[in-house]
Amino acid sequence: MPFIPHTEEDIRAMLDTIGVDSIERLFEEIPAELVIDELPGVPDALSEMEVTRLMRERAARDGSPLCFIGAGAYEHHIPAAVWEVATRGEFYSAYTPYQAEASQGTLQVIYEYQTMMAGLTGMDVSNASLYDGASALAEAALMAVRANRKAKSRRVLLAAGVNPVYRKVAEAIAGAQGLSFDYLPLDPATGLTRLEALAEAGEPPVAVVIQQPSFLGTLEDMDELTDRARALGALVIAVVNPTSLAVLKPPGEWGEEGADIVCGEGQPLGVPLSSGGPYFGFMAARKNFVRQMPGRIVGRTVDLDGKPGFTLTLQAREQHIRRSKATSNICTNQGLMVTAATLYLSLLGEEGLARVATDCHDRTTALCEALTAIDGVESAFDTPFFHEALLRLDRPVAPVLAELSARGVLGGYDVSADYPELGDVLLVCATETKTDEDIRRYAGAMADVLVAGRAARAAG
């Protein structure tokens, strides 16, 4: 069957019905400079065999470099069973479960996912996922404004360690809806948020966003930050790495009363890096804020015969028929990614996830020890971290990363543009997938690059 099944006669009949002489007329408001005649790099129609060969050739161009980047997307081992099950037709092509009696399997998966996420975060309720971690933060900020009715402002304070990409997305989404974002300063000596800055923040904010571990890998004093934010009358939004929650205190237990809303990126839970997506965001909250949550919540119930079943317990009807009045315009959740995450968490269990988290910390510790033994590399902070750490180089980071890439090593993330006050700094990450040999290979490549750079400068 053709991708577009309409014949020329069908198209002509439709255009005549609406009184338009051509399809192009329907799109004439698009500026001419934005219109393209072709898609560079996309070949003419190919057979299945030819398409398969083309995609394999293009995939091979990426090679198999060692990845030590992190910065919000992490390479973890994914048990083979996760995607063998997730890509079965029952899950792979399943859509939103509007009709409960025909969607019990999908609904149960979502219910189990929500239960696991509520347990990990220490919160009362979890929704059925969002687009990604960055947009989840934007939704959390909007939710805080709706939930914190005592606050008169629409001002959100973000701790220094919040992911810079998340900041930009939150400003683009929630800023366009009347929220303003301000940032707490970073202590360049420790990589932590300056706690005293909360008291100097001016107009009391509606919410304070804190990330654990921070984008720089550091571990903040979340009890103190949470209690200080509450003293200002603000809700506390936590941005967390779900893997870290296997070994760190959950947001629901921060400070005297815990966080109010928790969000983050679910990619570490069984979703491969995949050239940038698709990923999924998660959100959990206190029970009293449940009606302000975007998305859907699946619940467990019983039918007339007392048999257990699952249903969409809570969803805003406006999301479907009155979108301008909706809590959020999110309708389709990232169901396939949630399925993979549920399988991943089920297979690993509490003990397995804790082992992954511990191994990640141990691997990063070993990586930092190997790299800081090289002349020209030192730790930027003497601060506890989870599985990312910041290193300071004796030269600009970007050329070093380019040279490492040429040697088959993706050496980390250049933080210089996001935190210029820190100088030439490199964020590195090692998960449980990295072996001692991988770390030695990276350290050897780094040493070669730095020595070659000094020799080039000396010769010049």
Cβ contact 230:236 at 8 Å = yes
Cβ contact 285:132 at 8 Å = no
Of 129, 204, 209, which is closest to residue 169 (Cα–Cα)? Answer: 209
91 and 159 share one domain: yes
Core vs surface per residue 138-159: b (16+ CB within 10 A) or e: bbbbbbbbebbeebebbbbbbb
| Domain finish residue from 303, 319, 344 | 344
105 and 170 share one domain: yes
Chain position carrying tokens 């040429």: 406
* Inside any domain, residue 340: yes
95 and 236 share one domain: yes
* Inside any domain, residue 33: no
Please report the pLDDT score of residue 156 as a whole number: 96
* Inside any domain, residue 17: no
133 and 182 share one domain: yes
CB-neighbour burial class of residue 5 (10 A; exposed 0-12, middle 13-18, buried 19+): exposed
339 and 408 share one domain: no
Spatial separation of the C-alpha atoms in residues 124 and 291, rounded to whole Å? 13
243 and 390 share one domain: no
241 and 302 share one domain: yes
| Domain finish residue from 307, 329, 344 | 344
Please report the pLDDT score of residue 322 as a whole number: 60
List per-block mean pLDDT (blocks of 10 residues) for the chain, which spans 460 residues. Answer: 73 94 90 86 86 90 91 96 92 74 86 96 92 94 93 92 96 92 94 87 89 97 95 96 98 97 97 88 95 87 91 69 61 79 97 98 98 97 96 97 96 96 97 98 97 83
340 and 444 share one domain: no
Residue type (1 letter), 283: M
* Inside any domain, residue 8: no
Which domain, by its residues, includes 390?
A: 66-74+351-459
Give the pairing type, strands 155-158 and 180-183. Answer: parallel
| Domain finish residue from 294, 323, 344 | 344
Please report the pLDDT score of residue 2 as a whole number: 45
Task: Report the number of distinct structural domains present in the chain.
Answer: 2
